[in-house]
Structure 1
Amino acid sequence: MYQVALGKISDLQQQPLSPGLRQLAPTGPRRAAWLAGRVLLSRMLFPLPLPEVIYSDNGKPAFHASVPLWFNLSHSGNNIALIVSDEGEVGCDIEIIRPRENWPRLADAVFSAGERQLIAAEPEPLQLAAFWRIWTCKEAILKQSGGHVWQMAQIDSTALAHSFVSQTFIAGSLSLALCTPTPYLLNINDISGQHSLWDLVELR
């Protein structure tokens, strides 16, 4: 089973957290997203207490091995997304669909031939959105395994062997991709309009 939560960082960071947990939040620009992510996790698991979050050698946050749940967080601008799973490691990426200077050159550098063909097949006005769709898929795949963005060129989202990616656009302005160890269908009707304070989508 998979559960997905979408929210606004500016709202979530102000919601109640235990004093001990809030004291663990980093200072500086990462603080707001960190707090928002812990609020989402706490609400996702309620009424159970939030387990301690640890970090793997490659920096991926996780619960202790004794807790049979896996999660991943992503944020872009004021938007944050969370996926929680009881089936194995997951990856999540959310991006604002926005202009990016020299994106065709970036696609040439880190996208596979198959991915570049998907972009070329779109009408020119839709190619930027296609770029972000593929980008979020590749990032979700990387994040499932704890990889880093500099490994982007090693991932081909059109040739997956052991993982499954589901992707959708939200309100025409966000691209969301999830990578899981078992197949599922992410239905846009289930998540449309859910990038508000707190909503859950249950996917099987």
Structure 2
Amino acid sequence: MAARSGLAGPPPVRVSGFEEAWDGLDTGLRDSDYVLAYGFLADWAPRDLACPELIRLLGTEAERFEQLSHDESKRRFAASRVLLKRVAAAALGAHPGQLELARNPNGRPYIRGCGQLEMSLSHTAEVMVVGLSRRGAIGVDVESAKRSVYGRGLEDDVCTQHERDALEWLPEEDRNAAVIRLWTLKEAYSKALGHGLRLPFHSFGFTTPLAATGVPRLLRVDGSPGNDAGWQFETHPLPEGYTVSVAVEPAPAGSRPQAHAGALIDGRVTSAVLGCYLKDEAKANAAAQATAAEGARGQG
């Protein structure tokens, strides 16, 4: 597509719920070594917060879920974790109930027994974005493209002096979008490195292209080219009015990532009924058959 000129990675794929078949995620992970997926809270918030199947599906995250005091916070938490599990399961050809989420000391989520798959999660307002990578660490960040940030002090907090000077050369109507691109790129890179908010955003920069689809390049503080060591950076506009940025670490030399859960996860299998999301028993049975077929392909 013309709108993706210069971008080498896969575009974000919208996923609307448990009842979809997502063969494209497996293909994207195999062809590009990473995938991006996004969903909306309205599609992923559970109908019943007390549903036993939801608690089982959350697994080790259930304790954090139960500690939340407000129902809205619980819905957002559950929606993001279930989306993360469902996307990982679809990409791996597994059942969501097979996958157990955990967090490393830096707070980065991962699948137990599936160390070759890196993941990242971001959300804002009503949208959630998941990034999965088999090549190395990945970070994603999402922000509303309509959010007014330029001239409100954000560029002073997140931009180098070189970036602020570059913003002044842009047409005034393009500056807000450019700040959002820089902000989300820095958030994504920081997440991928495992530093979170501990990495000063003034300590590195990115190019500020005129085109929203231009390929970002890492810069030093003074604006000279940085040593990106093969990292891939991209920014994608979502049709629903959001901006998604991703940072992906290159694969180690000589590595050959595996494509399916059968080669990645250990043999301990749990199960979870998806009735707290599906609308009737017939659809639940159909979904169970579909996920069983996905798992069989992954083991083949």
Q: TM-score, normalised by structure 1?
A: 0.77
Partner residue, 2:250: 182
Partner residue, 2:8: none
C-alpha separation in 2, matches of 1:88 and 1:121:
35
Classify 1:172/1:53 alpha carbon distance in 2 versus 1 (closer, same or farther; 3 Å).
closer
Q: Provide, for residues 45-88 of structure 1, a one-character-per-residue CA deviation record: whole Å limited to 9, x for no partner.
A: 13414422222222222223643211101011001111111111
C-alpha separation in 1, matches of 2:73 and 2:190:
21
Partner residue, 2:188: 140
What does residue range 6-17 of structure 1 map to in structure 2 within 5 Å? 6-14=38-46
Q: Provide, for residues 100-157 of structure 1, a one-character-per-residue CA deviation record: whole Å limited to 9, x for no partner.
A: 3853x33123312332233222211221111101100000000101222353333323
**Partner SS for 1:91:** strand
**Partners of 1:5 and 1:40 within 8 A in 2:** no
C-alpha separation in 2, matches of 1:100 and 1:42:
32
**Partners of 1:69 and 1:84 within 8 A in 2:** yes
Partner residue, 1:200: none
Classify 1:118/1:64 alpha carbon distance in 2 versus 1 (closer, same or farther; 3 Å).
farther
Classify 1:13/1:172 alpha carbon distance in 2 versus 1 (closer, same or farther; 3 Å).
closer
The structure showing larger relative contact order (alpha-carbon pairs under 8 Å, at least 6 residues apart) is 1
C-alpha separation in 2, matches of 1:19 and 1:132:
36
Greater strand fraction, Structure 1 or Structure 2: 1
Partner residue, 2:202: 153
**Partner SS for 2:82:** helix
Q: Provide, for residues 8-34 of structure 1, a one-character-per-residue CA deviation record: whole Å limited to 9, x for no partner.
A: 012212279643134442524543332
What does residue range 70-81 of structure 1 map to in structure 2 within 5 Å? 70-81=118-129
Structure 1, 85-94 or 62-71: larger mean CA deviation: 62-71
* Paired residue type of 2:235: Q
Runs of 4+ in 1 over 4 A off after TM superposition: 15-18
**Partners of 1:54 and 1:64 within 8 A in 2:** yes
C-alpha separation in 2, matches of 1:21 and 1:118:
47
* Paired residue type of 2:36: V
Classify 1:86/1:99 alpha carbon distance in 2 versus 1 (closer, same or farther; 3 Å).
same
Partner residue, 2:166: 118
Q: Kindly tell me the number of residue pairs found equivalent between the two proteins.
A: 182
**Partner SS for 1:36:** helix
The match for 1:100 among 149, 158, 178 is 149
* Identity within the alignment, %: 23
**Partner SS for 1:153:** helix
C-alpha separation in 1, matches of 2:164 and 2:236:
19
Q: What's the C-alpha RMSD, in Å, of the aligned pairs?
A: 2.6
Kindly indicate whether residue 82 of structure 2 is the aligned counterpart of residue 39 of structure 1: yes
Classify 1:65/1:11 alpha carbon distance in 2 versus 1 (closer, same or farther; 3 Å).
same
* Paired residue type of 1:164: Q
Shift in Å, 1:39: 2.4
Unaligned 5+ residue runs, structure 1?
184-204
Unaligned 5+ residue runs, structure 2?
1-32, 207-217, 220-225, 252-300
Classify 1:53/1:43 alpha carbon distance in 2 versus 1 (closer, same or farther; 3 Å).
closer
**Partners of 2:150 and 2:179 within 8 A in 1:** no
Greater helix fraction, Structure 1 or Structure 2: 2
